[in-house]
């Protein structure tokens, strides 16, 4: 994409001008695609729609019995975690509709017991936290380029070595809610 001016709205739709030769292929194993696009459903679909064209819901239940909706189709563009949470609510409601109790907490994988021997790393307390590679502020202001490029391989591995095995925390000391640290 040539520059930030390549993005514009025309007649209510996003238009993107792509400069020849700027396309690239990125090797990856998984893609989570969440573009926040409209669903394309209309009144002929058979569900009551709100003024934005999204299905009206109570909880996850749509206007037709046995139909559930969740995520961007109901709320419009939001975060992935909001969509996941709404999907879980819809799955629970669907389970109740089918005669279940709505409990979708089934654990399908056995959890391994944490190894209490976390070992010793000399100089651990002095290990500095690695910082992600960030695009400089001037470049961020002028483009839609990825700003936070994460950690490079060696830095990511080093940061993993700082792990204190959080799953052991409850066995090492009593867990105290944040408000118990307040004076008074």
Q: CA 81, 86, 87, 88 torsion: positive or negative? A: positive
pLDDT per position as a tens digit, 46-91: 889 988 888 899 988 888 888 898 888 888 878 888 888 999 999 9
Q: Which pLDDT band, with edges at 50, 70 and 90, does 96 fall under?
A: very high
pLDDT tops 90 at residue 103: yes
pTM for this predicted structure: 0.44
User: Which pair of tokens denotes residue 172?
Assistant: 């090492």
CA 119 to chain centre: 33
Distance in angstroms (rounded) separating the CA atoms of residues 177 and 27: 43
């Amino acid at each position: 994409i040539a520059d930030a001016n390549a993005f514009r709205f025309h007649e209510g739709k996003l238009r993107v001008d792509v400069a020849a030769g700027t396309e690239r292929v990125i090797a990856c194993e998984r893609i989570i695609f969440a573009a926040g696009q409209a669903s394309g459903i209309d009144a002929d679909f058979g569900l009551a729609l709100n003024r934005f064209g999204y299905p009206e819901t109570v909880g996850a239940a749509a206007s037709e019995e046995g139909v559930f909706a969740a995520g961007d189709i109901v709320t419009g563009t939001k975060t992935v975690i909001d969509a996941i949470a709404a999907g879980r609510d819809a799955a629970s409601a669907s389970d109740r509709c089918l005669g279940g109790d709505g409990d979708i907490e089934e654990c399908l994988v056995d959890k391994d017991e944490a190894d209490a021997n976390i070992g010793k790393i000399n100089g651990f307390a002095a290990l500095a936290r690695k910082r992600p590679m960030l695009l400089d502020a001037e470049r961020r202001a002028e483009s839609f380029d990825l700003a936070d490029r994460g950690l490079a391989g060696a830095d990511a591995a080093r940061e993993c070595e700082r792990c204190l095995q959080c799953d052991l925390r409850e066995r090492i000391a009593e867990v105290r809610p944040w408000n118990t640290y307040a004076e008074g």
